[in-house]
Structure 1
Amino acid sequence: MPKHSRHSAKKRRDPRRKTMDQITAENDSMTLKRSLTATQLLLMGVGTTVGAGVYVMTGTAAAEYAGPAVLLSFLIAAASCLFTAFCYGELASTFPVAGSSYSYAYIAMGERTAWNISWLMLLEYGISCTAVAAGLSGYLNSLLGIFHIHLPQWLTHTSLQPVPGSEGTALTAGWRLDLIGFLSVILVTALLARGVEESARFNSLIVALKIGVLFLFLIIGVGYITPANWVPFIPPAQANFHFGVAGIFRAASIIFFAYGGFEAVSTASSEARNPTRDIPIGIIGSLLICTVIYVAVAAVLLGIVPYAKLDVADPLAVATQIMGKPWLALLVNGGATIGLASVLLGLMYGQSRILLTTGRDGLIPSVFSEIHPRYRTPARGTFIMGGIIALMTATLPIDIISDLVSLGTALAFAMVCFTVIWQRNYAPETKRPFRVPLGGIRIRGFWIGVTPLLGIIFCLVMILPLLFNMVHALLGGNPVPVLLLVGYFLIGVLTYRFYGFHNSLMAPSRPHEQGTSSHPE
């Protein structure tokens, strides 16, 4: 880019911006164990991604919004994630450090942008963990029911419940909690605190089991497909994104959350054996594998069951009932329980590593960055995080905040794509073992990559239906989604302003702790 443009850009950049050497030194000082192979990273991505999307969301997205055209919704959501995955691949190979997009932004654009991204990621991971744990609880309760084991209702429902018909505007409180959801989070937390290598081995076994169950469903289900169930492929459009072309994109915005698990691979850079090569393989490979699985399962499911009958929490179980295969229903329920456990493991792993990195930087309390001397994991921070998620799972209803997951994911992904563009322009000499495909164009000397630009556009396409629904709900007398969104972002702004800004290791008042934090241009 022109010399004068580069000088003027420096003046606009956040002075609290780290260098690659500084983050690498900090990363090495954490002494995390580098044990994860490309195969384990690939399985981590698949294990974190294949879960609620295939076991729960397929039915709702088809029944409410897209009909059989939900297959197109899966492809649209996958395309959006694929462009972002390429961007993650470039950044992860360029900056093989912990913290994922948070660390990438800290190097490229500075502390304030990094904090904003980490706050979005905490929203994405936190609510996702709670939602997955709640789904796991539901499937395990169904599985126990097959064996005539029934827990009392006060141990299977959250403390707060939405009033039927209120669309989340009114809640009831009672002496009840989701015990299975609570315990599942605690067990996964203990496993993560014990060690990432043990967690990866456990995850590899789980992924093999749940993929095997889905493959069995596909093989048997093909023989029960009724082609008439795929007609009409795109049902006639109705109001509020129900069916038609608009419904396809609304369904994609729901399904989009189900693909987000591949991002957890990028948080493992500091524990991968060869991060510059293995992280891109894990990210992009897991996304492609999961897309094939999602589309194949959705096609068979919609061929067996008319889409209007799939607005249930366990659509695959409905299909096995129509097929008259009770033994397969048992396997599907078991596979869903196991599958959601691996998703929970991957999501909580990703969140713990983001907290570790932000805690190390002083933006949140340092307890999240303390490494256990024996297990070489952030054990204390992991248990604090797990305790909070367990309480959320036991007490809070998920239905009124589910769209916030997709919204937070899409915003974080768009910022990752923009980071690639920013970094290419302001550090063009940086070595990049993996580069995004499709090249780019220059406008007045400023490089704009085709792949990151398409990623940003697709993320905006995912966001628009969610924002429309929030505004529509607000105008209809339901302010809850908007209040939750505004409240969360306000807390993030205040946290950085009154804690992170002053306690950051990059703060001028703490020069003795910055080490290599100076970054002469």
Structure 2
Amino acid sequence: MTLRRTLGPVQLTMLGVGSTIGAGIYVMTGTAAANYAGPAIVLSFMLAGLACLFTAFSYGELAAAMPVSGSAYGYARLSFGRAGAWWVGWLLLLEYGISCSGVAAGFSGYATSLLADFGVMVPDWLHTTMLQTVTSASTMHVTFSPRLDLIGAACVLLVTFLLMLGVQESARINTAIVLLKVGVLFVFVAVGIPAIHPALWHPFIPPYEGGFRYGVPGIFRAASVIFFAYVGFEVVSTASPEARNPKRDVPIGIIVSLILSTVIYLCVALVLMGVVPWRTLDVADPLALAVDAIGWPSLVLLVKLGAVIGLCSVVFGLLYGQSRIFFTMARDRLLPAFFCTLHPRYRTPTHGTLVLGTIVALATALLPIDIISDLVSLGTATAFAAVNLTAIIDRNRRPDAPRPFRMPSASVQIKGMTIGIIPTLGIFFSMVMVFPLVSDMLLGLFTGNPTSAILLLVYLSCGAGIFRFFGRRHA
């Protein structure tokens, strides 16, 4: 039994846009601007978008040349072997699965705010994570509380149920949601432009305050945070087994969805920084705060409703991508067989999707978005570097292989090996995204905040254990 090929270029592009535009623009833009970059968050978006563009070309070429399931995991399996592919797949769980928790946290914030507008006050213990972060001038501290974000967890479980029903049916719903979400953002930009106060853009790069707070270091740190905002465009590559013409449509979906998302991000960020003082934006619903400042009460409800519905489409795309990666890994016997068992009627991996959704729902209830975004950005940048490296290796191993889509082929020769300029730049910028994250994690070890580093170590240890005691024995 195989997956159904039902997705065309429009549905694939909508899948990419729907998976990308989410908590990054609705939540993390305000946090990154207030704590790191100020109005220069626009430059951070450009930097992160540029890093992703190089990787998008590599994804497009690999998806056309090797229309296999599993996204970066599938490409790594052909280039790096079983062990290397396992680690790429395990890091992709950070990129797709855990990032889904961050998106659901954004859903929880906007949903709670929207309900409050209608007089329904949700208790804190229903929409607050067990771990909470407190950011000071130079450090971030983590506190514990007897609370769970059950609103965000419920969003994850609802989308999990929809995915279990079938991709084509869910894709139709997702396309409608994406159009609504993008439409709301365009309305926000159109209404916000006349309300811009250019004085709020000055100084465009705030004076440096030490560490990664403001100045040029702050731009790079903010870029590493909002790198989280670009997670999703490559979800299109996981849809190859369900695309009608994967060699043509998948590269189109990847690159077009990234370009559309980047343009939308830049427009929204410019308006947001020009409407509200950037130091006030470290809130759960910065766009709603900006609309309040504009003075359109009815638009506040529209923005919040668009965020609530739109963030569901991101959860859909990310859970879809991760379930298909686990489907492929289970088919290769690196994970238990139930991850690749298809429902006889819907022909979807229902058991694996349910297990994955439950894990993501638990992470949503427990972890704050600050920690999630750092872990996701780290996993994403590492996976992107692996994809670019795979593109270089594949060009050298199979120089004459048919490539329906080819990235611009500028390259240099080093010891008989052809090194493509674009994938090399993709690796370089991915490492640029990683450096501030790793620096902050190491700093946290010496300033009394080792939480992120400990979570990462535990996560990597779990990956090593699963591969050692299951994957290596059964593959």
TM-score, structure 2 normalization: 0.97
Deviates more, 1:307-316 or 1:417-426: 307-316
Task: Map Cα deviations across residues 144-167 of structure 1 (whole Å, 9 max, x no partner).
Answer: 111001223332223454589796
- 1:289 partner amino acid: L
Instruction: Give the aligned partner of residue 452 of structure 1.
Output: 423
Determine helix, strand or coil for the equivalent of 1:149: coil
For 1:486, which of 448, 457, 465 is the aligned residue?
Answer: 457
Alpha-carbon distance in structure 2 between the residues aligned to 1:65 and 1:154: 29
For 1:188, which of 143, 146, 159 is the aligned residue?
Answer: 159
For 2:336, which of 365, 380, 385 is the aligned residue?
Answer: 365
Instruction: Give the aligned partner of residue 6 of structure 1.
Output: none
Instruction: Give the aligned partner of residue 76 of structure 1.
Output: 47
Determine helix, strand or coil for the equivalent of 2:232: helix
Pair member with larger Rg = 1
Alpha-carbon distance in structure 2 between the residues aligned to 1:32 and 1:343: 22
Alpha-carbon distance in structure 2 between the residues aligned to 1:63 and 1:492: 35
Task: Map Cα deviations across residues 62-114 of structure 1 (whole Å, 9 max, x no partner).
Answer: 12111111111111000000000000000000111211111111112211111
The total of aligned residue pairs comes to 474
CA contact (8 A) 2:91 2:379 kept: yes
1:127 is the counterpart of 2:127: no
Instruction: Give the aligned partner of residue 219 of structure 2.
Output: 248
Alpha-carbon distance in structure 2 between the residues aligned to 1:460 and 1:170: 27
Alpha-carbon distance in structure 2 between the residues aligned to 1:473 and 1:427: 44
Determine helix, strand or coil for the equivalent of 1:399: helix
Q: Superposition pairs for residues 9-48 of structure 1, below 5 Å?
A: 30-48=1-19
1:207 is the counterpart of 2:173: no
Q: CA deviation at 1:470?
A: 0.8
CA contact (8 A) 1:84 1:455 kept: yes
- 2:404 partner amino acid: P
Alpha-carbon distance in structure 2 between the residues aligned to 1:169 and 1:397: 12
Determine helix, strand or coil for the equivalent of 2:144: strand
Instruction: Pick closer, same or farther for the CA change 1:63–1:153 going to 2, 3 Å.
Output: closer
For 1:292, which of 257, 263, 273 is the aligned residue?
Answer: 263
CA contact (8 A) 1:236 1:243 kept: yes
1:172 is the counterpart of 2:144: yes
Instruction: Pick closer, same or farther for the CA change 1:307–1:161 going to 2, 3 Å.
Output: closer
CA contact (8 A) 1:168 1:480 kept: no
- 2:201 partner amino acid: W
Q: CA deviation at 1:237?
A: 1.5
Alpha-carbon distance in structure 2 between the residues aligned to 1:235 and 1:402: 23
Give the aligned CA root-mean-square deviation in angstroms. Answer: 1.6
Instruction: Give the aligned partner of residue 123 of structure 2.
Output: 152
Q: CA deviation at 1:408?
A: 0.5
Task: Map Cα deviations across residues 181-214 of structure 1 (whole Å, 9 max, x no partner).
Answer: 1221111001101000011101100011111111
Instruction: Give the aligned partner of residue 412 of structure 1.
Output: 383
CA contact (8 A) 1:42 1:281 kept: yes
Q: CA deviation at 1:177?
A: 2.8
Instruction: Pick closer, same or farther for the CA change 1:209–1:426 going to 2, 3 Å.
Output: same
Task: Map Cα deviations across residues 236-289 of structure 1 (whole Å, 9 max, x no partner).
Answer: 112011111111111111111110110111100000000000000000000000
Alpha-carbon distance in structure 1 between the residues aligned to 2:316 and 2:446: 38
- 2:286 partner amino acid: P
For 1:400, which of 341, 360, 371 is the aligned residue?
Answer: 371
CA contact (8 A) 2:101 2:372 kept: no
Task: Map Cα deviations across residues 471-517 of structure 1 (whole Å, 9 max, x no partner).
Answer: 1111112222222212211221221122101101xxxxxxxxxxxxx
Instruction: Give the aligned partner of residue 512 of structure 1.
Output: none
Instruction: Give the aligned partner of residue 67 of structure 1.
Output: 38
Alpha-carbon distance in structure 2 between the residues aligned to 1:164 and 1:120: 27
Alpha-carbon distance in structure 1 between the residues aligned to 2:73 and 2:367: 28
- 1:371 partner amino acid: L
Instruction: Give the aligned partner of residue 308 of structure 1.
Output: 279
Determine helix, strand or coil for the equivalent of 2:370: coil
Deviates more, 1:476-485 or 1:452-461: 476-485
Instruction: Give the aligned partner of residue 408 of structure 2.
Output: 437
Determine helix, strand or coil for the equivalent of 1:400: helix
Determine helix, strand or coil for the equivalent of 1:109: helix
Instruction: Pick closer, same or farther for the CA change 1:398–1:217 going to 2, 3 Å.
Output: closer
CA contact (8 A) 1:81 1:260 kept: no
Deviates more, 1:369-378 or 1:392-401: 392-401
Deviates more, 1:336-345 or 1:162-171: 162-171
For 1:229, which of 177, 200, 203 is the aligned residue?
Answer: 200
CA contact (8 A) 2:99 2:372 kept: no
Q: Superposition pairs for residues 461-472 of structure 1, below 5 Å?
A: 461-472=432-443
CA contact (8 A) 1:162 1:397 kept: yes
CA contact (8 A) 1:32 1:270 kept: yes
For 1:139, which of 110, 113, 118 is the aligned residue?
Answer: 110
The runs of 5 or more residues in structure 1 that have no matched partner are 1-29, 505-521
For 2:21, which of 47, 50, 54 is the aligned residue?
Answer: 50
- 1:474 partner amino acid: L
Alpha-carbon distance in structure 1 between the residues aligned to 2:46 and 2:221: 13
CA contact (8 A) 1:51 1:343 kept: yes
Determine helix, strand or coil for the equivalent of 1:279: helix
Instruction: Give the aligned partner of residue 241 of structure 2.
Output: 270
**Identical counterparts, % of pairs:** 58
Alpha-carbon distance in structure 2 between the residues aligned to 1:182 and 1:123: 17
Alpha-carbon distance in structure 1 between the residues aligned to 2:261 and 2:398: 33
For 2:466, which of 482, 491, 495 is the aligned residue?
Answer: 495
Q: CA deviation at 1:399?
A: 3.1
CA contact (8 A) 1:163 1:172 kept: no
